Structures are given as structure tokens and as C-alpha cells.
Amino acid sequence: MEQGILLSESTEVDFMIHGVFSYELFGQTVWITTTHVCVLFVMLIIMGFCLAANRAMKKAEEVPKGFQNVVELIVEMLDGMIGGVMGKHAVTFRNYIGTIFIFILISNISGLLGLRPPTADYGVTFALGIITFTLIHFNKFKHQKVSGVLKGLCDPWPIWAPINIVSDFAVPISLSLRLFANILSGTAIMALIYALLSKVAIAWPAALHVYFDLFSGAIQTYVFCMLTMTYITDACTTE
Amino acid sequence: MEFNTNFILGCSAIGAGLAVIAGIGPGVGQGIAAGHAAAAVGRNPGAKSDITSTMLLGQAVAETTGLYGLLVAILLLFVKPLVP
């Protein structure tokens, strides 16, 4: 295990989460990890963009130019995407879907900035999945009432209720695992290339970054938001 | 004890290799989806953007099963849950 492999200078393959420091809280050791640090960086980027956008929109003009164009383009794109899927429910969920879209997108492509993408930590994606799960069931009870939910549970026959419950709970798990595994595989492959081919990894890994960080990250963002919207619209629909 | 740890590591590596065989399924599925999307674009070139986004969504959902296999492989190789 101590020998280098062929083209590598070191055998260190490192794409794991590291602890930065820990503290005691109610007898539990709580670790602040690299994920927290990267989430903070992502937040800083988003907040900087928001402040700039706010300033640009304060002196907005009838005919947009420069940065105002960019902001309007983003908002119109998100509006179009959400309105196309959710129809009349779009007004309620526009803010939430737009927020998670921007957060996941910036998180996924933060690998380009040398950060470890926060979405390659199951804690982050599972939290997003739990929020989606809560929204689905809150809206189910709000729009279909208790009787509608019970009728949905006993869909073909009452004997199917356990299977329906399992499939309800599978939604946030599969949603979060899909995002997590996609980003983690990209991070792992890039780490393997940099560690094991370190002597020849000059310039050409940039092409792989475009695929694993930009393309895969954007697609997975789109898929996560699309599925969230589809599930929520399903829950809001009453027969 | 030394033998046991190495034996478990070796078996974990074999298990990881077997787990990523799961990649065959999504490969076939995504290929079929892409083929049908290409046929659909050929039939109706005007709907190209709609077809592409639907295809990408379906492929990303189909990819999940393969990713479960990958996840098992990564857990076996790097988290080493079986090593005492």
C-alpha cells in the first residue's frame, strides 16, 4: 500500500469530509466540518449576488441594460420553468423552488472553485429531501383533507396501505440519494484523477470538470427541482 | 487479526466490483431513452427542446439505481464498514 501507482506521486486519495474543529454541547461532541465551511462560502457567493442584484434593481430602468439584464433573465427563466410545471400553484411555491434551485446549482458547481461541493454530503441533501417531504404532506392534508389522504392510502384496496406508506417514505430518500450520489461520484472521480494521475493531470482534467461539475450539476439541480415540483403539484391536486 | 483485516479488505474490494455491475441497467435504459428521443426529434423536429428536457429528466431518474450500486461500492471501499 505504500508504493505509488504507476503515474502518481502519492497514494493519497482524498475526497472525504474532514472535521475542522469540535466542541462539546450537552455532552455530545459536535464537529464543524469542511461541509459547513463550504456552505458558508456558497452562502457568501449567493448573498453577494443578491446584494448586487438588489442594487441593480433599485435603479432599474425601463429598458434594462448590463447587470439588470442578467437578473431579469434568471428570474424569468425560473418563473417560466416553475409556471410550466405547477400551473396555478406556481405563485405559492415560486420562492421556495427558486431558492433551492439557486442554492443547489451554486453548491454543485462550487467544485470549480476548489471547494468540496456541500451537496456531496448526505446531511445537506437529506435536509433538502426532508423539506420536500414535509411540503408534500402538508399540502396533501391542506388540499385533499384527511378523507382524501386516507382514500389515497387505500388506493386500489385497503390491503395496499403498507406499500403506499413505504413508497411515501421512499420519496425523500431516493430524491436526496440521487443528488448526493451524482455529486459524490463526480467528486470521487476528480479526486482519483488528481491523486492517481498526478504526473500527467495537466490542463486536460478541465474537460472532465465541465462534465462532472457543470453539466452533471446543472442536470441534477434541474431534476431535483422538477421532481419536487411534480410531487407538490400532485399533492395539491384534488380529484 | 492481521490476516482477518486484509481478508475483509480484499473481499470488500471484490464486493465493490460486483456492486458497480448495477451500472449495466441504467446504461441500457438511458440508451433506449436516448434512442427513442432521437426518433422523436426525427419525427417532429419542432419539439426538440421539449423532447430533450423530458429525455434528460427520465434518464436522470433511471440513473438512480446505478448510483445505488456506486454508493455501495464507495461505502465498501472508503468507509470500510465491515472492518472491525
DSSP state of A155: S
Residue B10, all three cell numbers: 480484499
The predicted-structure confidence for B8-58, as pLDDT tens digits, reads as follows 888 899 999 999 999 999 999 999 999 999 999 999 999 888 898 888 888
Contact between A178 and B63 using a beta-carbon 8 Å cutoff: yes
* Closest to A155 in 3D by CA, of A142, A164, A147: A164
Residue A217, all three cell numbers: 450539476
Q: Is B71 on the interface with A (CB under 8 A)?
A: yes
- Please list every residue in chain A whose beta carbon sits closer than 8 Å to the beta carbon of residue B74: 184-185, 188
- Residue length of chain A: 239
Reply yes or no on whether the pLDDT at A3 is more than 70: no
d(CA B76, CA B72): 6
Mean pLDDT value of segment A2-28: 70
The predicted-structure confidence for A111-164, as pLDDT tens digits, reads as follows 888 888 899 888 899 999 999 999 999 999 998 888 888 888 887 888 888 888
Contact B11, B64 (CB under 8 A): no
- Please list every residue in chain B whose beta carbon sits closer than 8 Å to the beta carbon of residue A174: 64
Ranges of each domain in chain A: 19-236
d(CA A216, CA A213): 6
* Closest to A44 in 3D by CA, of A137, A97, A101, A110: A110
Contact between A222 and B78 using a beta-carbon 8 Å cutoff: no
d(CA A120, CA A180): 5
Q: Closest chain B residue to A13 measured between Cα atoms?
A: B78
Reply yes or no on whether the pLDDT at A69 is more than 90: no
Reply yes or no on whether the pLDDT at A204 is more than 90: no
SS3 A25: strand
Report the pLDDT value the prediction gives residue B1, as an integer from 0 to 100: 59
**What are the distances in angstroms from CA A221 to CA A17, A199, B26?**
22, 33, 19
Q: Which residue has the cell 472532465?
A: A208
Q: Is B49 on the interface with A (CB under 8 A)?
A: no
Reply yes or no on whether the pLDDT at A229 is more than 60: yes
Average pLDDT of chain B is: 88
Would you tell me how many other CB atoms lie within 10 Å of the CB of residue B37?
Answer: 18
Report the pLDDT value the prediction gives residue A111, as an integer from 0 to 100: 85
* Closest to A82 in 3D by CA, of A210, A208, A180, A222: A222
Contact between B74 and A16 using a beta-carbon 8 Å cutoff: no
ipTM: 0.78
* Closest to A172 in 3D by CA, of A222, A117, A135: A135
From B78's Cα to the closest Cα of chain A, the distance in A is 9
Report the pLDDT value the prediction gives residue B21, as an integer from 0 to 100: 93
Query: What CATH class does B2-79 carry?
Result: mainly alpha
Handedness of CA A150, A153, A158, A163 (dihedral sign): negative
Q: Is B64 on the interface with A (CB under 8 A)?
A: yes
Report the pLDDT value the prediction gives residue A158, as an integer from 0 to 100: 84
Report the pLDDT value the prediction gives residue A112, as an integer from 0 to 100: 86
Report the pLDDT value the prediction gives residue A135, as an integer from 0 to 100: 92
* Closest to A54 in 3D by CA, of A31, A75, A40, A34: A75
- Please list every residue in chain A whose beta carbon sits closer than 8 Å to the beta carbon of residue B63: 178, 182
Report the pLDDT value the prediction gives residue A101, as an integer from 0 to 100: 93
Q: Which of B56, B67, B76 to substitute to test the interface with A, most A CBs within 10 Å?
A: B67
Q: What percent of chain A has pLDDT over 90?
A: 26
Confidence of residue B3 (pLDDT cuts 50, 70, 90): low
